[in-house]
Amino acid sequence: MRRRSAAGVVRGLLVLLGVLLTGCQSPSGGAAEDGPLGGSASGTDRTSAVSPAPARPSGYGAVFLAVGECSSFGTTSFSEVPCAGERAAARVVTRHDGTVRDGPRCPATTDFVLHISEQRPSSDEDGDGAVPQGYACMRNLQPPHPGDPGGGGGPRTIVGDCVYSSGDGQVRETACDGRGEREPEYKVTRAVPKRSGCPDSTALYVRLGGDRPVGCARPL
């Protein structure tokens, strides 16, 4: 009886030892792995540890003439260049698809507008090989700034600008300091929604556009 009991105890210990050895092995028969910081390498943890795809680079070349980027000299023939380069002439203030006629207006102090025809350059909007038709509102990197009030140019006439009569009821902008080709005759002093909002000293109404489309101009 004592021999049978001793044998049973030995068999029980062997079974228990086998269970313990089996529990030390990792699932699927592979060795246990640690993540990059010593964490579990289960399927869920491996998925969360995968780095996201790198973001598309910003700045020069990422988007053709994006806001903040620069162009070379010229309004009809130009290219995108690094703003720190010697060929850089003007910076993009705003950029819109479509045409100037149908799109948003450029900021008041824009010096000039670049009209971008649809093309297929090496650097484009989204990597599909095409740049849609659009326009960029530009500001010169260095003076002069014709878009400033009284500067004598720019795509918009704003308060502080001077104009002269070009005939047939039309006026054109010129520099207020007299350095332009034509002497200034009137100066826009106020922008109002309607003519009735202009002061009594107004001698000329100038079309400005926007939510205050009437410019009140006094003679110089």
Q: Are 93 and 140 in contact (CB under 8 A)?
A: no
Strands (E), 54-89: 70-71, 80-81
Instruction: Report the predicted TM-score, pTM, of the whole model to 2 decimal places.
Output: 0.66
Copy the structure tokens of residue 44.
Answer: 């869920």
Given a contact cutoff of 8 angstroms between Cβ atoms, the answer to whether 158 and 108 are in contact is yes
pLDDT (tens place) for every residue of the chain, 220 residues total: 444 444 444 454 444 444 444 444 444 443 333 333 333 333 333 333 333 333 333 345 567 889 999 999 876 678 899 999 999 999 999 999 999 989 999 999 999 999 887 665 444 444 445 667 899 999 999 999 999 999 999 999 999 999 999 887 889 999 999 998 899 999 999 999 999 999 999 999 999 999 999 999 999 9
pLDDT, position 118: 65
Cα(100)–Cα(109) distance, rounded to whole angstroms?
16
Cis, bond preceding 146 (omega within 30 deg of 0) = no
Closest CA to 81 of 65, 96, 97: 65
Contacting residues for 36 by C-beta, under 8 A, at least 6 apart: 49
What pLDDT is stored for residue 167 in this prediction? 83
Residue 206 and residue 166 in contact, taking contact as beta carbons nearer than 8 Å: no
Q: What is the pLDDT of residue 169?
A: 80
